[in-house]
A and B are shown apart, each in its own frame.
Chain A
Amino acid sequence: MRNALLGLAGVAAFLLLLETVPHTGLVDDRYLPPFSEMARALGDSAGTAEFWQALGDTLRTWGTGLALAFAAGTAAGMVIGSVPALRDATASTIEFLRPIPAVALIPLAVLLYGTGMEATLILVVYSAFWQVLMQVLAGVADVDPVARDTARSFRFRHRTRALRLVWPTTLPYAVTGFRLAASVALILTITGELIIGTPGLGRLIAVAQTSGAVAPLYGLVIVTGLLGVVVNLSARLLERRVLRWHPSVRQETAR
């Protein structure tokens, strides 16, 4: 309770700072307008259909990319992780491809899809896929040896083994992968819109920048930050909800 109040005080102090600093002349108020002006600009743009359209586009690109990456990453991770030979054979390739920054693909995406949503989608899927895959691989590797031997003794079929043994062990890892992928996907969605110019909030920011609309620019940046906070919080909530049976979460709530 005390912490929440302190946090609120922190936010209030930050906003106050943002409001007063431009008035003091410490920084050029053409570059940093007072917070009230940012808020007003944000309110103005929230009244336009263009803003909501852009927000919808951003969410759609983000959601589509995240869903594709999560499905592909989980499937690939379960298959590769369950077959030791496959795991050994792919390890070096995965280690090679994973650190390649997704932004390296921007020129290729532009040539292939122009400013269509697909161009950004490639970046989103590529970067989010590795987050999911690495977590799922770690999860499959974490299956308790005794449980695995037990399953073998009982001659579980492949399907039963995957559903009753491997998946429950992997799920916490997969959910962590989902949480990481969700925030990475949002970053790449906005980045793609900003650099490539696919429709969405990122493109509105680029437009605000080129037209010198400073206060709306700050307003839009604040919106992307809030969007990021919402994504992080809802991913955490989802994690607790999906894993409410899991000892780690049960312990936390019992405390």
Chain B
Amino acid sequence: MSGTYTPNNQEEISQFIYDSYQANKPIEIVTFNSKPIGRSIQCSQTLDLRKNSGVIEYAPEELFIKVKAGTPLIDILEILKSKKQSLGFEPVDLGYLYNGKSNYGSIGGVTSCNLSGPRRFKSGALRDHLLGFTAVNGKGECIKSGGTVVKNVTGYDLSKLLAGSYGTLSVLTELVFKVVPEPEYAETFVLYDLNPKKAMEAFSVAMKTSLEVSGACFYSKKNTEFLRLNDIDSSKSVTAFRIEGPKKSVQERIVSLTKIFKEIKEKTVLELYQSNLFWKITANLECFSNSQNLVAKISLPPTETAGFISQFCEDDIMDINNKYFVDWAGGLVFLEINDKDPSYLILEKIKKFCKEKGSHITIIKANDNLRRTGFFVSTSDENIKILAAKIKQSFDPKSILNPGKIYAGI
């Protein structure tokens, strides 16, 4: 067995993995190859899941959809849209980041990466919306967990573990997602020209209100050119707050935000169309569209973000000038690191910062060399790695599923 195998259904997936298990042959798992994320995998077999595709059951009034894992995410979003529903974690289209154009990939791929958009800090991550799954483990056995209901504590919550496991524990075959009603209306309140520290303070102020902000991001003034929206002045830094709900309620809350930030002179409001466009561009990381450099995301306690920015992103005195933006109301920084520092010393410094401040870094785009030899996620506690290795073994005893994708040797 070598080359690419494209099974039609779960039975064929199970048989292929069983045979590979018997033969000790590792497998790289792909669907549309839309996300070259994680460490490189060196193996002769590729399992392509694109044919295991289709909606199994969609129950709008029950707020769930059950799909085969190879289903294109864009198809699912269109089906949900027809019933004015969506996926609550605000799916991310990383096609722009990797290839300069839209490519959502498959629902299974997005699940394996636990990718969540700007609404994450309010509505939860992808893993919070995954109600259940069927998968094939590293021995070729079909396993399931969860169901179609929101409240469920029947056995271990394996959905959480498989979301974000990058295909290293099992091959997902069927997924059940909770769905949510689409917001009726939305507007975005924008403050201009804040420095990063002031922007982080503004996030903190807004998040302490009951205005239910559902998006809060910051673009520094050196990273706004790509925001080609009619109602945005892209010559200044942009601090944006999204408000969603019934129109009257949205407008009342925008008025409240205007009052709270009355001291700040330069501000504007993006109405529905422009607002939706702004957050789509933000969710899809379009500011890094087709970037040739390394791109990382750093998850931080919001109060540590201003300090992180001045050390690693932007500081006039220290002459630091990396392209970045901040999402999740200050909880997430996306940072581009220029290839001119081939040894990536900055990564080691960021890892050290993360260890001290209770945060972590994930490299979401890297060149082939770094993907082969470098780290993918920063895990400073060796005991977590030991536990991760045992968990990997409990699902995939011969380490044949995406070996080494998250950690070298695991």
Are A and B subunits of one complex? Answer: no
User: Which residue numbers of A lie inside 8 Å of B, CB to CB?
Assistant: none
B residues neighboring A (CB under 8 Å): none
